Amino acid sequence: MSATRTLWFVLGDQLDPHFTVLRRHFDKARDVVLMAEVSDESRHVPSHKQRTILFLAAMRHYAERLRSKGVTVRYTRLDDVGNASTLAGELRRALDTLQPQSLAIVRPGEWRVLRMIERVAAQRKLPLRVHEDPHFLVTPQAFSAWANGRTELVMERFYRAVRKRFRILVTDDGRPEGGAWTLRAESRPRFAGNRPPLPKRVVHTPDATTRAVIASVERSLGDLPGTAAEFNWPVTREQALAELHDFVRHRLAHFGDDVADMATGAPWMHHSLLAAPLNLKLLDPREVVQLAVDAHRRGEAPLPAVEAFVRQVIGRREFIRGVYWHEGQDYASRNALGHRRALPTLYWSGETEMRCLREGVGGVLQHGFAHHAQRLLVTGNFALLAGVDPKEVSDWHLGMFVDGVDWATLPNALGSSQHADGGTVGTRAPVAGGRTIEKHSDYCDGCRFEPGMRTGDDACPMTTFYWDFLIRHQATLAANRRLASALAQVASMSDEVKREVTAWAAVMRKRLGVVER
């Protein structure tokens, strides 16, 4: 009989500092944890250097945390001799060496990895136990029970159900505190600069372990996109808590105030920056929400700001994950609008005359991050309007953002941003022209393009593409009530104007490198 009872495959986004599943089921005398750094996970979609560093540095710190608790860890580093370079290869190597009686995992963050582990276990005729991830409030099974039989999946209804179930910001009789479930303003004023003053970020100085990872990535994966020069992301439980407390102290009170705003040289605004440590499981959503609610109780943050934050953590985040597992593996191949063009090279270089894209993509290359408005109104919006293949857009968002994990990225990018699922995640195709970007940012100041023009050399490509998009998809989107006003304008256009817009959009696509495949 093998000396190893169960091999536990712990992945890079399963770094639970409370060891919730292991504490319940792990036998220190007979079980082994497997962790592996493999180059394939940084190459199956091109991964930003800082995203790769974040995962690997967090993994190394977590392995040491496990060992300090008496856990036996088999750990493969990126540049170890014999590294198989794939998760499947490292799993097979461990199985060959340890000959365990069974294999155990916590549900991975993507279908691809789950199916790979299932195949390896089946090939080896090895029992596999898949534990649900206790990090989330709602299991995939519970989400499907809520979703089954509904004609449409509305996040607002899901959010209310979760708040009621977990008694978050609700009164004793089950009503929402503040008198409404949503307390943020639906209509937002024109961008007025960086007011209130934007707080500085907390600094996470890389320790020896993180510095070693940075050197390893530069040595073995130096051709990855982005730069590692300004790496400043939390890779330990302690750093994640520092990020959380910094947010609660300095940004929570204004969370949501500038959610639609973008400012030159202000990559963070008042966004929480907690998605990465949450997605790696260094933080638990329950503690994050509780700290925000406690801040409100102490009078340190207004209820609308706290409700907006809670909505993102237990509403949007849980909803998106539920959609990912509920919709199945074929969700990734959906393309409701039939977009097939290639992602232009400017998404890898940031080189473009369009100031909004130069700021948005440039910030991603520098930090591995862009906040909500930049993702929706700039990088996502441009790709949607230009007709880029939604899977390419989703893959770029997955690999280029430090918080990228498939369960979160796919429904948000392919679904909500690119409308490729036909409205499963968002009922309205989130399209916007240059005037909208002008309203919510300072990007148009000094840009050579004019946001109010839709044709001609000075026309803003966002505006040209916006009207071209509506012309191309007029019939498909006709029933979309939220686009009714814009589509009515298209209907009133003469055929000559439509042809002019369509022709100029073709010129713009060629100039910007948006090519047919």
What number of other Cβ atoms are within 10 A of residue 426's Cβ?
Answer: 18
Query: In the chain, how many H helices and how many E strands?
Result: 22, 5
Distances (CA, A) of 147 to 156, 165, 182, 235, 326: 13, 16, 21, 35, 8
Sequence letter at residue 89? G
Cα 111 from Cα 324, distance rounded (Å) = 9
Rounded distance, CA 453 to CA 463, Å? 7
Query: In Å, what is the CA distance from 61 to each residue of 41, 155, 190, 211?
Result: 19, 36, 44, 12
The pLDDT, as a whole number, for residue 185 is 62
Per-residue pLDDT for the chain (517 aa), expressed as one digit of tens each?
Answer: 578 999 999 999 999 999 999 999 999 999 999 999 999 999 999 999 999 999 999 999 999 999 999 999 999 999 999 999 999 999 999 999 999 999 999 999 999 999 999 999 999 999 999 999 999 999 999 999 999 999 889 999 999 999 999 999 999 999 999 999 999 765 566 776 656 678 999 999 999 999 999 999 999 999 999 999 999 999 999 999 999 999 999 999 999 988 889 999 999 999 999 999 999 999 999 999 999 999 999 999 999 999 999 999 999 999 999 999 999 999 999 999 999 999 999 999 999 999 999 999 999 999 999 999 999 999 999 999 999 999 999 999 999 999 999 999 999 999 999 999 998 987 777 899 999 999 999 999 989 999 999 999 999 999 999 999 999 999 999 988 888 999 999 999 999 999 999 999 999 999 999 998 8
Predicted confidence at residue 188, as pLDDT, reads: 60
| Residue 213 amino acid letter | V
Q: C-alpha angle 190/299/276, rounded to 5°?
A: 65
Do the beta carbons of residue 190 and residue 310 sit within 8 Å? no
The reported pLDDT for the residue numbered 168 is: 97
Q: Which residues contact 382 (CB under 8 A, 6 or more apart)?
A: 354, 357, 461, 462, 465
Main-chain phi, psi angles of 130, to 5 degrees: -110, 110
CB under 8 A, 24+ apart: contacts of 304-308: 304/178, 304/183, 304/184, 304/256, 305/252, 305/253, 305/254, 305/255, 305/256, 305/257, 306/169, 306/252, 306/255, 307/169, 307/177, 307/178, 307/182, 307/183, 307/184, 308/183, 308/184, 308/255, 308/256, 308/259
Place of tokens 């047919």: 516
Q: Tokens 């600069």 map to which residue?
A: 193
How many Cβ atoms are within 10 Å of 507's Cβ, its own excluded? 14
Q: Give the whole-angstrom CA distance, residue 483 versus residue 481.
A: 5
* pLDDT on residue 504: 97
